[in-house]
Amino acid sequence: MEHTNNIITLRGELGGLPEFSHENHGRRFYRFKLNVPRLSGAVDTLPVIVEESILQGLDPCSGDMIAVTGQIRSHNIRVENGRRLLIFVFATSVTAEDGEPVNNVMLTGYLCREPNYRRTPLGREICDVMLAVPRAFRRADYLPCILWGRVAQEISNCHVREQIRICGRMQSRCYTKLTEEGPEERIAYEISALSGEVIEETPE
């Protein structure tokens, strides 16, 4: 079944050889980082999870260009002081492929909290939303998205349970978390939207 409400396509440089991640129902999964440059020169380092069978026949070397297609997934894990939302790419195909960097995301989901609209000190409009993107077996992935400018203003007028469609890219962002042990450097992952629209649901 094709998940047309959650599609990510990437092409970037392999940040290291795949390492064993976990086993689930007899299926073995591996993880690796993919480095995808932006036009600005900054680099998004994105976590990828892939089943062992998809890697068979691929002989990757660190630094190779790799193309990945799949979905963006979330997983809520317990940590010492509460919970943490993990965001990663769940790959359905991985191939060695040269070419220009690619980072394209298409999501359709429902707002699961009220949008957070604000302006930067320089006056730039920003809107943060949390999108619940349905998948099989009545599950959903909860994905943080950030919108800019006119799109931010439009989506800021939406409310919980409204359905929206976002096109953009997945990005990584470093930040400092203050913990009881002191400052801790962490990486957040979010979808930076280039466009966004409200989907009007027609009554059955």
pLDDT tens, position by position, for the chain (204 residues)?
346 899 999 999 999 889 999 999 999 999 999 999 999 999 999 999 999 999 987 887 767 899 999 999 999 887 666 678 899 999 999 999 889 999 999 999 999 999 999 998 888 999 999 999 999 888 999 999 999 999 999 999 999 999 999 999 999 998 887 777 778 788 999 999 999 999 986 555
* Residue that finishes a domain, picked among 105, 130, 153: 105
pTM of the model: 0.90
Residue 78, token pair as written in the block: 């317990």
Same domain, 110 and 192: yes
Instruction: Tell how far CA 186 is from the center of its chain.
Output: 16
HSE (CB half, 13 Å, CA atoms) of 165?
9
> Which sign, positive or negative, has the C-alpha torsion 176, 178, 180, 182?
positive
Same domain, 10 and 60: yes
Question: Could you say which of 72, 88, 105 is where a domain stops?
Answer: 105
- Whether residue 204 lies inside any domain: the answer is no
Measured distance CA(195)–CA(204) in Å, rounded: 28
- 76 and 126 inside one domain: no
Which residue, of 73, 105, 137, is where some domain finishes? 105
3-state class of 153 per DSSP? helix
**How many folded domains does the chain comprise?**
2
Enumerate helices (H) and strands (E) in the chain, giving the number of each. 2, 12
Q: What is the CATH number of the domain that holds 126?
A: 2.40.50.140
